[in-house]
Amino acid sequence: METYYIRINDVNNLTAGASFLGSGGGGDPYIGGLMLKRELKSKGELEIIRRPKSSKAFVLGSAMMGAPIVMIEKIPSSSEAKKALEMYSYVMENKTIDYITPLEIGGVNSTIPLITSAKTGIPIVDGDGMGRAFPELQMTTFYFFGVSPSPMVIFDERGNTSVIQGIDGYWTEKIARIITVRFGGSAYIALYGMNMQDYLKNAVLDTLTLALEIGELLNDRKLDHVLDRLKAEILFKGKVIDVYRKVEKGFSKGYVVIEGIENYSNKTLQIDFQNEFLIARTNNEILVTVPDLIVVLDLFNQKPITTDRLKYGQKVIVIGVPANEKLRTEEALKYIGPKAFGYNIEYIPIDKRL
């Protein structure tokens, strides 16, 4: 069992890496980053455990659910996620929770489990259920490989609590979404309880480390190293010439058109998004599709641009990142392949397309 520590000076690296892995979605981790800094200011450091050996240990997921736009106004009290965990334990007849895991590593939810860990003293395990960001609760490797999100506890800052026992991941998601809205658009959740053996088999491992590494490289402006580390490719460089957006069923859907510069002049790239970037294509050729990651960086400061911040005139670099192998399995693609998002496109891994 390896451990390492996160300190206050690591937070900016973590949030930069999490923005990158958010693939345009997952929300701006700025608020979560500040909350985490506050915890680390008093705690000093937080222990991250890599590959715990105890196969019977119990792991539980911790996350924020809802609209990032609500979170920037209704900032959490920061103990909601901890209370959700305590309620989970209570509902499960005083179940001992040995480890906390993030559900996703992209965006704001990279920080929430660390705050929960700081508040509870329960160590965090280095991995998550997406290896990036996705919009819905059932879109995790845990679920693809047979772990149920239920029972799930959902908690708000006032102390209102619901326990959901959905018949499957979709129902759990649908019910939780409605409760989240009633709670005021943001809620804090505890779910996906499992033993360590299942966790190690199902999770995308070592992703906290990955986010920290990528963030450090990005903050040092070493994009080439990021590409090497992730076996990623630059897909395109250009200027945003059109952004189309509409809100549909609660999701921000649309596309962005980028006109090429340098080696890419006389070409245009279109990226479709639904919270996250989903499909990148030139005129007749599909370059990358979900679950592989499409990341859009500002050409000048190399900071990731989220889908809601896209605007005309931005000069950008577009990067394609191979998704973790666990996201590319047949089981996973049913839930997070292009077809799951309504595209009649086969998933072909980025490494085979380019």
- The contact set with other proteins (CB under 8 A) reads 31, 34-35, 37-38, 66-70, 72-79, 115, 157-159, 181, 184-185, 239, 241, 247, 250-252, 275, 308-309, 311-313, 315
Nearer to other proteins by Cβ, of 95 and 182: the residue is: 182
Q: What kind and span of H or E run contains 46?
A: strand 45-50
| Least distance from other proteins to the Cβ atom of residue 344, Å | 25
| Least distance from other proteins to the Cβ atom of residue 171, Å | 18
Nearer to other proteins by Cβ, of 181 and 223: the residue is: 181
| Least distance from other proteins to the Cβ atom of residue 240, Å | 11
Nearer to other proteins by Cβ, of 100 and 187: the residue is: 187
Other Cβ atoms closer than 10 A to 198: 17
Nearest CA among 144, 182, 202 for reference residue 336:
144
DSSP string, 95-138: PPP-EEEES--SGGGGTHHHHHHHHH---EESEESSSS--SSTT
Nearest CA among 144, 109, 83 for reference residue 15:
109
Nearer to other proteins by Cβ, of 77 and 282: the residue is: 77
| Least distance from other proteins to the Cβ atom of residue 37, Å | 8
Q: For residues 295 and 304, is the Cβ–Cβ distance under 8 A?
A: yes
**Tokens encoding 137:** 């609760």
Nearer to other proteins by Cβ, of 313 and 352: the residue is: 313
Distance in angstroms (rounded) separating the CA atoms of residues 42 and 44: 6
| Least distance from other proteins to the Cβ atom of residue 35, Å | 4
| Least distance from other proteins to the Cβ atom of residue 241, Å | 6
Nearer to other proteins by Cβ, of 28 and 126: the residue is: 28
Q: What kind and span of H or E run contains 200?
A: helix 196-202
